[in-house]
Amino acid sequence: MTAEGGAHMGGLPWVRMDTSWPQNPKFLQLAGDGKWRAIAVYWAALAYSGGQGLDGFVPFYVLPMIHGLPRNATELIAVNAWVPCEGGWQINGYDEFQVSSEENALRSKRAREKAMVRWHGRDRPNGMP
């Protein structure tokens, strides 16, 4: 989750962006129809969802916060970029390109354990600082 002041707690500090996204048919269709705001909302939603550790879920109440309008959600659904689900939308394909919250937590735990060994040696009991 994001604490006041923007510190990430549980979410990702970044999300991956495929460098070929401008050639993606979903975005080409939106751009061809002049729906630039929907494209911006998609990227804002991706960042929000990743930062909050929501694994691609975008709650209904977040739409205004990511500068979106209901019509933008409809436009993203129409090109299959978002999938409606209970309480909001799921970013289609999120799990193919992004690290899940669970995997991120596992990576962090392993990194902490390795740092413990590096700084304190192998003979420290588990959990002892």
Higher-pLDDT residue of 71, 111: 71
Higher-pLDDT residue of 107, 75: 75
Instruction: Name the phi and psi angles at 109, rounded to 5.
Output: -60, -45
Of 35-44, 49-58, 120-129, the least confident? 120-129
Contact criterion met (CB below 8 Å) for 53 and 10: yes
How far does CA 113 lie from the centroid of its chain?
Answer: 26
Taking the C-alpha atoms of residue 65 and residue 27, their distance in angstroms, rounded to an integer, is 22
- pTM of this structure: 0.71
Query: What is the rounded (10 degree) CA torsion for 84, 12, 48, 21?
Result: -70
pLDDT bucket at 99, cuts 50 / 70 / 90? low
Query: What does the chain come to in residues?
Result: 129
| Angle between helices 36-52 and 25-32 in degrees, nearest 10 | 140
Taking the C-alpha atoms of residue 40 and residue 5, their distance in angstroms, rounded to an integer, is 23
Mean pLDDT of the chain: 81
Higher-pLDDT residue of 15, 65: 65
pLDDT bucket at 1, cuts 50 / 70 / 90? very low
| The pLDDT of residue 19 is above 70 | yes
Residue boundaries of the structural domains of the chain:
21-97, 99-129
Query: What is the rounded (10 degree) CA torsion for 22, 88, 6, 72?
Result: 40
Decide the pairing of beta strands 82-85 and 88-91. antiparallel
Instruction: State the pLDDT at residue 98.
Output: 64
Taking the C-alpha atoms of residue 21 and residue 27, their distance in angstroms, rounded to an integer, is 7
Higher-pLDDT residue of 92, 108: 92
